[in-house]
Chains A and B, each alone.
Chain A
Amino acid sequence: MPIPVKSLKAQQHQFANPAYQLEVLQHAGTEEGDFPHFGAKLQEHQLYPLQPTGTTILQVNVGKMCNQTCRHCHVDAGPDRKEIMTRATMQLCLDALAKSPQLTTVDLTGGAPEMNPDFRWFVEQLSGMGRQVIVRCNLTIILANPKYHDLPEFFKKHQVQVVSSLPYFSASRTDAQRGDGVFEKSIKALQMLNVVGYGQEGGGLELNLVYNPSGAFLPASQRSLEAEFKRRLLGAYGVVFNSLFCITNLPISRYLDYLIESGNYSSYMEKLVTAFNPEAAANVMCRNTISVGWDGALYDCDFNQMLELKVQPGTPQHIRDFDLGQLDQREIVLNQHCYGCTAGAGSSCGGSTT
């Protein structure tokens, strides 16, 4: 299947509608019936209601614009998405951080966060506040335009931790998920990051890669795959990196569309439900992260954000009203897609959770 160049939203596709996605997720099941609600599953393990354990990460989605239209993208990002965080909303994030010293890490995501015109200003402010900044860089953005060629130096200057998707160490599997030519450009970008010192063991400039399956299957063991990635990327391209994060694809947005189109939806959901791991459930990322949308709305995670499931009513709904004390008392909003974070070794933006 060729990768569409337009977002689901631009195609006016039914899966661009979060309410429709939730409707489909509610009725996932096999011949034996629907799967148990995720909340009920947590209840079986005394984990319901799910609450934060202490929030330390503010994940900020600075916009849905991206130079790629990856087949699995849960954001439905792409060049045609115009939702972008303004500098005024970024300032509200900075204000929230200033009154919340517990938030030691700011995780910037998108789309391609670097395409936000105020991206560099935001990183400078965050770095000036002494917060650890993570940028989820898709790698190809570094080569997309001469104005981005100095990003590795910029990242280095602000000691940014770079986290980049590379679904496989071969072009065929990577390009099938992320678009033609993405693998070659990603390797070139990784080499540019290595040149300025990223990914060297003990060098202090952290470069982590993200593996997520290019298809309807669960990820491999992080430890084993990391060793294989390191061997292959060093041997073939001279590329080094620090850690590999294995992430499970969650059944929403474009990946949900792929599952349905390919006839894998029920079997994939069954895999996720069967592989439910209470230990992974206890360590899900929404217990230590709050997600901010491009318009400043607050969510339990980036996936809930894309499903427009805001944090529990009665707690602050927007970054302008941010109150970590109140938010840390909230009940996390759950739905059937949450099975993706609790399958097998668990999955989070930082990889496996067990």
Chain B
Amino acid sequence: MENTYYNPADLKKFGNITELQPEMGRKFFDYYGEVFKEGALTEREKALIALAVSHAVQCPYCIDSYTSDCLEKGADENQMMEAVHVAAAIKGGAALVHGVQMMNKIKDLTM
């Protein structure tokens, strides 16, 4: 084991996960590749969504990958930061909306 949990060099070894479970791994990567192909959404739009989700799930490998990918797909810095704000808004909103649950409980417990 490394002394840190994350090593940037591990990113390019992602494909090695198929070594311990080839069939599931292969199916996952086939699916992954299919998802990011241009469809109803452009490749650039999908890269921006992936960048936002990467921040929401706070995955450093994904942030590394999709920052590069967004640049390579022609997204600009403003679009990328707006995507991160979308993630932040949803994450923040998801925390705050539970404030309603808290308020309901306060109402239950107080006179």
**A interface residues with partner B (beta carbon < 8 Å):** 168-170, 172-173, 211, 213, 215, 217-221, 224-225, 228
By a CB distance below 8 angstroms, the chain A residues around B68 are 217
Task: Give B50-78 as 1s and 0s: 1 = Cβ < 8 Å from A's Cβ atoms.
Answer: 00000000000000000010011110111
- A221 contacts B71, C-beta separation under 8 Å: no
The answer to whether A220 and B74 touch across the interface, beta carbons within 8 angstroms, is yes
Interface size, chain B (Cβ < 8 Å): 12
Give CA–CA (A26, B52) in the complex, Å: 39
Q: How far is the CB of A151 from chain B (nearest CB, A)?
A: 29
Residues on the B chain within 8 Å of A213, using CB:
71-72
Interchain Cβ contacts under 8 Å between A and B, 27 examples: A169-B76, A170-B76, A170-B78, A172-B77, A173-B76, A173-B77, A213-B71, A213-B72, A215-B71, A217-B68, A217-B71, A217-B72, A218-B72, A219-B72, A220-B44, A220-B72, A220-B73, A220-B74, A221-B43, A221-B73, A221-B74, A224-B43, A224-B44, A224-B73, A225-B74, A228-B44, A228-B74
Secondary structure class of chain B's binding surface, majority of residues: helix
Residues of A within 8 Å of B71, CB to CB, are: 213, 215, 217
The secondary structure that dominates the A interface is: loop
- Interface 1/0 per residue, B4-38 and A, CB below 8 Å: 00000000000000000000000000000000001
Bound: A199/B42 CA distance, A: 26
CA distance A172 to B76 in the complex (A): 10
What's the least CB distance linking A352 to chain B, in Å? 13
- Closest Cβ of chain B to A209, distance in Å, is 13
CB-nearest residue of chain B to A214 = B71
3 A-B pairs with least C-beta separation: A220-B74, A225-B74, A217-B71
Give bound CA distance, A217 to B80, whole Å: 16
CB-CB < 8 A to A173: which residues of B?
76-77
Which of A169, A211, A219, A221 has the largest number of chain B CB atoms within 10 A? A221
Closest Cβ neighbor of A344 among chain B residues? B72
Residues of A within 8 A of B72 (CB): 213, 217-220
